[in-house]
């Protein structure tokens, strides 16, 4: 955080806290133009934001110079290599050095920036993040958390893991609960988040034995970790109001996420189709423009863009690969909010205290066992 | 089928094929009134339909007498017991005799009706169906298949299993592919359905080893079972157009189904909210009524109501527990279409031929092995 403060002092002087976001300009489906347009929009909306932009310098320079909002607020770091959507994480781990993705993470590692944002290949980004930023002590599997539009007053629920790892045992799921509640506290401003464990029914006897083990573990840790455990929840509760944080393994979470996105997109297209069906329907669509826009703003997936990697030394926001200007700007907004809340340090503190508690528990158990032996 | 034909001859005479559906009047969230209203609507729309209705006779008699459409077309079978949503399948298996659900299945078992429809407890209905109708020879785990609104020309995709069993090994998943394509042929009129295996990515190296095993098994059987295998598909493909049949285990399928339903419902509520936000918005809503109705008809989940139990000696349609008149009528329509297509016999034939092929394969393998020994 020191270098960030230094940065803010040299740049703005007036003592206002400036936030620096490191942005991978490459790897998204729409190329660097969409990324630069997105960060320019964010810069315009938020005067305390600065950027370090990673990618091929001449190309980026041209794009950035066109945007007045980025004037003096966007440093370009030259990186020639690009991680493509087709690259396998294992390849990228070996040959990723020199790519814009690697470079973007490096700025977070060196504490020049607080959060890194990339539209690139998810698997590769997670693999590089693990190498460059390293896992937090006590975290076995990092997770990707997303915000899901919901019926709760805060408008969103947190769901994790949505695809960092296909497997998760009971301890991992507890870890996800801890990290997810930390995210909900900082990202959604909830003091005592309610956690649900995703299953195929709410009764205690439902699901796999591994899930029951996770149930018991999460329940046992709820009070001292200051969250409420509501027990098992179902797919319908992900956009619902029974809980604020939905915990599941990365296989189930990824399929739920993509099913939800696909269903929302199909419905949106049907709605569009209904209003272009005939001349009269088009006219009705014009009349209904304002309510439809209000509706779209509520459910537009581009406005809730950004999976957050949790469990690393530093925060990484993964934007949708197909993000346009609006999408990139939403991911930057999320990055800004997490940076502003000091999320990385708070999450690390939470995980550290949980690990400590677990160690104490283990020590106590040993003591009790020792006593019972004597 | 004989008794069904007899029935049609005695009732309508004119040689037209009458279809008898066995309906459990109890166990739904809205009680028997919604069920009777639903079957009455179906009776009105479809003059070749007859019903056997199961539940407490005096109550049902009163409800049926009010509906002219059911006049002479709905036989009531008295059953006092009701399976509630809270009853555990294991309890129902022991004490289910005498319930309306048991009685409804009995009519299919006795070939008085072609398909049974129930709005009751899914787990109990599956458990009773397994006891009363028994699994088809060669089927290890029966599955529940649903129709999912999609971008395909037929308007729907088939997904299974959505919750009969949380587990499925590679052989079960192959069986699901066979049963799902049979359903797609009869329910959606597709000659050569395209099958996808649900995973977290489309690359061959994604997912669990068990999935790769299923991949190979399904691929190896595609040609002779007359379907096309498109490989791995993702959550976004469930409402998409990459395939017609999505195969997955009942844990993942159930969560995907409920996530999709919940998301669709949230979006619908937001849309309603947008058009009641202000007086002007209400007015706009009135103007846009006809396109909105067209839209609603396309995505209304009540119009695609009914999970079909596959892999049993007889067809069972599980309607949503909260189904209203429209929902029940949709489930009956689905039951009618399957009955009319002779689905139960065709599915049994498919499964039998697949089992036979597998046995032949095994025999061939033994032969080859024996030869290589000599």
Instruction: List, for residues A280-297, the tens digit of each pLDDT value.
Output: 777 777 767 777 776 666
Q: What is the pLDDT of residue B47?
A: 94
**Alpha-carbon distance A161 to nearest alpha carbon in chain B (angstroms):** 12
B285 close contact with A: CB closer than 8 A: yes
The band of B203, judged by pLDDT with boundaries at 50, 70 and 90, is confident
The band of A49, judged by pLDDT with boundaries at 50, 70 and 90, is very high
Task: Classify domain A143-303 at the CATH topology level.
Answer: Isopropylmalate Dehydrogenase (3.40.718)
Torsion of CA A289, A290, A296, A298, to 10 degrees: -170
Q: Which long-range contacts (CB under 8 A, 24 or more apart) does B291-296 make?
A: B291/A274, B291/A275, B291/A277, B291/A281, B291/A284, B291/A285, B292/A274, B294/A274, B294/A277, B294/A281, B295/A270, B295/A271, B295/A273, B295/A274, B296/B268
Percentage with pLDDT > 70 across chain B: 86
A259 close contact with B: CB closer than 8 A: yes
**Alpha-carbon distance B369 to nearest alpha carbon in chain A (angstroms):** 38
- Interchain CB distance below 8 Å, B267 and A291: no
A286 close contact with B: CB closer than 8 A: no
DSSP helix/strand/coil, A72: coil
**Which chain B residues are Cβ-neighbours of A237 within 8 angstroms?**
262
**ipTM of the predicted structure?**
0.85
How is residue B243 written in tokens?
A: 């395939």
A258 close contact with B: CB closer than 8 A: yes
- Contact between B157 and B122 under an 8 Å Cβ cutoff? The reply is no
**Alpha-carbon distance A61 to nearest alpha carbon in chain B (angstroms):** 35
Ramachandran quadrant class, A174 (left: phi over 0; alpha: psi -120 to 50; beta: rest) = alpha
**Alpha-carbon distance B333 to nearest alpha carbon in chain A (angstroms):** 24
- Contact between A109 and A314 under an 8 Å Cβ cutoff? The reply is yes
Task: Classify domain B139-306 at the CATH topology level.
Answer: Isopropylmalate Dehydrogenase (3.40.718)
**Alpha-carbon distance A284 to nearest alpha carbon in chain B (angstroms):** 5
**Which chain B residues are Cβ-neighbours of A280 within 8 angstroms?**
290
Q: What is the pLDDT of residue A4?
A: 36
**Alpha-carbon distance B90 to nearest alpha carbon in chain A (angstroms):** 12
Residues 225-244 of A with CB under 8 A from B: 234-240
CATH superfamily, with its number, for domain A1-134+312-341: Isopropylmalate Dehydrogenase (3.40.718.10)
Pinpoint the residues of chain B covered by CATH 3.40.718.10: 1-134+312-341, 139-306
Closest partner CB to B270 (pick from A198, A257, A298):
A298
Mean per-residue pLDDT of chain A: 87
**Mean predicted confidence (pLDDT) in A310-318:** 95
Residues 58-117 of A with CB under 8 A from B: 88
Q: Who contacts A232 (Cβ-Cβ below 8 Å, separation ≥6)? A: A196, A197, A198, A199, A201, A202, A203, A204, A206, A207, A211, A215
Among B90, B122, B259, B297, pick the best mutation site for testing chain A contact (most A Cβ within 10 A): B259
- Interchain CB distance below 8 Å, A255 and B200: yes
**Mean predicted confidence (pLDDT) in A154-167:** 93
- Interchain CB distance below 8 Å, A205 and B287: no
Give the angle A30-A31-A36 at the CA atoms, nearest 5°. Answer: 105
Q: What is the pLDDT of residue A9?
A: 32
**Mean predicted confidence (pLDDT) in A5-23:** 59
Nearest-CA neighbor of B20 among B37, B34, B39, B7? B7
DSSP for A228-285 reads EEEEEE-GGGTTSSS-SEEE--HHHHHHHHHHHHHHHHHHHHHHHHHTTSSHHHHHHH
A307 close contact with B: CB closer than 8 A: no
DSSP for A296-340 reads HHHH-GGGG--EEEESBSSEEEE--TT--HHHHHHHHHHHHHHHH
Answer yes or no: is pLDDT of B258 > 80: yes
For tokens 């395909």, the residue is: B152
Pinpoint the residues of chain A covered by CATH 3.40.718.10: 1-134+312-341, 143-303
Closest partner CB to B274 (pick from A238, A251, A294):
A294
Answer yes or no: is pLDDT of A6 > 60: no
Give the angle B91-B93-B97 at the CA atoms, nearest 5°. Answer: 105
Which residue of A lies nearest to B197 if distances are taken between CA atoms?
A255
Give dist(CA B311, CA B328) in Å, integer: 23
Nearest-CA neighbor of A328 among A109, A71, A119? A119
Answer yes or no: is pLDDT of A324 > 80: yes
The band of A61, judged by pLDDT with boundaries at 50, 70 and 90, is very high
- Interchain CB distance below 8 Å, A271 and B208: no
B287 close contact with A: CB closer than 8 A: yes
Which phi and psi (to 5°) does residue A16 adopt?
Answer: -70, 145
Helix spans in B168-242 (H): 170-187, 209-221
């Amino acid at each position: 955080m020191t270098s960030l403060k230094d940065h803010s002092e040299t740049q703005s002087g007036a003592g206002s806290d400036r936030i620096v976001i490191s942005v991978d300009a490459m790897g998204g489906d729409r190329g660097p133009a969409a990324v630069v347009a997105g960060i320019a929009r964010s810069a315009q909306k938020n005067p305390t934001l600065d950027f370090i932009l990673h990618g091929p310098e001449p190309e980026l320079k041209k794009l950035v110079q066109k945007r007045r909002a980025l004037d003096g607020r966007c440093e370009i770091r030259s990186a020639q290599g690009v991680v493509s959507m087709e690259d396998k994480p294992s390849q990228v781990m070996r040959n990723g050095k020199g790519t814009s993705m690697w470079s973007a993470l490096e700025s977070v590692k060196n504490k020049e920036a607080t959060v890194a944002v990339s539209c690139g290949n998810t698997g590769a980004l997670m693999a590089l993040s693990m190498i460059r930023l390293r896992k937090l002590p006590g975290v076995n599997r990092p997770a990707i958390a997303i915000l899901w539009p919901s019926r709760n007053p805060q408008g969103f629920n947190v769901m994790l893991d949505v695809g960092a790892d296909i497997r998760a045992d009971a301890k991992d799921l507890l870890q996800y609960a801890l990290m997810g509640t930390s995210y909900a506290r900082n990202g959604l401003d909830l003091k005592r988040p309610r956690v649900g464990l995703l299953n195929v029914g709410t009764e205690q006897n439902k699901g796999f034995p591994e899930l029951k083990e996770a149930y018991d573990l999460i329940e046992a840790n709820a009070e001292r970790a200051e969250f409420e455990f509501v027990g098992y929840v179902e797919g319908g509760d992900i956009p619902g109001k029974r809980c604020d944080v939905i915990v599941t393994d990365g296989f189930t979470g990824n399929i739920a996420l993509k099913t939800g996105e696909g269903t929302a997109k199909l419905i949106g297209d049907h709605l569009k189709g209904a209003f272009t069906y005939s001349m009269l329907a088009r006219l009705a669509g014009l009349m209904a423009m304002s309510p439809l826009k209000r509706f779209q703003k509520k459910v537009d997936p581009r406005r809730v863009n950004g999976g957050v990697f949790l469990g690393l030394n530093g925060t990484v926001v993964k934007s949708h690969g197909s993000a346009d200007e609006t999408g990139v700007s939403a991911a930057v907004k999320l990055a800004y909010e997490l940076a502003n809340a000091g999320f990385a340090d708070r999450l690390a503190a939470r995980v550290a205290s949980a690990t400590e508690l677990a160690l104490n528990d283990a020590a106590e158990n040993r003591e009790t066992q020792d006593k019972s032996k004597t």
